Amino acid sequence: MKKRNRSLKDYTGQKFGRLTAIALVYRDKKNNHLWAFKCDCGATANKRIKSVREGHTSSCGCLQKEALVHRNTRHGLIAQMRPEYRSWRDMRARCNNPNNSDYANYGGRRISVCERWNDFAKFVEDMGPRTVGMTLDRIDPNGNYEPANCRWADAKTQANNKRTNRIVGGKTLQQISDECGVGRATVAYRLCQGYSVSEALAQEDFRRVISRH
């Protein structure tokens, strides 16, 4: 005899921790129910009703984030290391937040932050203090944010390490610009306009005249 599905219980409007049930999203053949919830923080999230009812899930994820910030704040790290915290926060936003203006070049390219660095204290332990004028840089610009692939670097080092940097004669535009004393943007513009490498690196301010027949 075919087993009948249990009747569907309506949890709409019921609150579990920070989550208030909105509507049933999905019910599979094994009677697992996925519900949409509104969190007290304002976010919406889909969670398994069983996990929510049993107390294993009590928020959209904001509770874990708050606990992490609280733990770091309690130890005084955020107050003492604000530049490092900004780098850590911005790194995570670039990789994890689709609404971040830089997401397309990071999370959108599947650049991720290692699990260890979800904890700010671990990030500081691995990276150490950030020197004035330095920012967080990935050694391999196509690699992830993790201890073996990150360093504090100045603007010039970062400019030489961009994945979009053009290579001329085995050197980046920034390196060539530094050597010849001509601005990087000027060198790039001249090359795009059809100048030869020697012309693009010339100190004189001139325009190339191309005769047309």
Domain residue ranges of the chain, discontinuous segments joined by +: 15-59, 63-135
Can you tell me whether residue 168 is helix, strand or coil?
strand
What is the distance between the terminal CA atoms of the chain, rounded to a whole angstrom?
90
Interatomic CA distance for residues 173 and 129, integer angstroms: 30
Instruction: Indicate the average pLDDT of the chain.
Output: 79
Could you report the per-residue pLDDT of 35-78, keeping only the tens digit for each? 999 999 888 999 989 899 988 888 998 887 777 766 656 556 66
Give the mean pLDDT of 152-158: 76
pLDDT (0 to 100) of residue 188: 66
Confidence (pTM): 0.45
Of the candidates 45, 68, 72, which has an alpha carbon nearest to the alpha carbon of residue 58? 45
Interatomic CA distance for residues 84 and 71, integer angstroms: 16
Of the candidates 108, 151, 148, 113, which has an alpha carbon nearest to the alpha carbon of residue 129? 151
Place of tokens 């391999």: 140
Could you report the per-residue pLDDT of 176-202, keeping only the tens digit for each? 666 676 766 676 667 666 676 667 667
Can you tell me whether residue 165 is helix, strand or coil?
coil
Distances in Å between the Cα of 97 and the Cα atoms of 92, 100, 103, 118 are 8, 5, 7, 14
pLDDT (0 to 100) of residue 1: 44
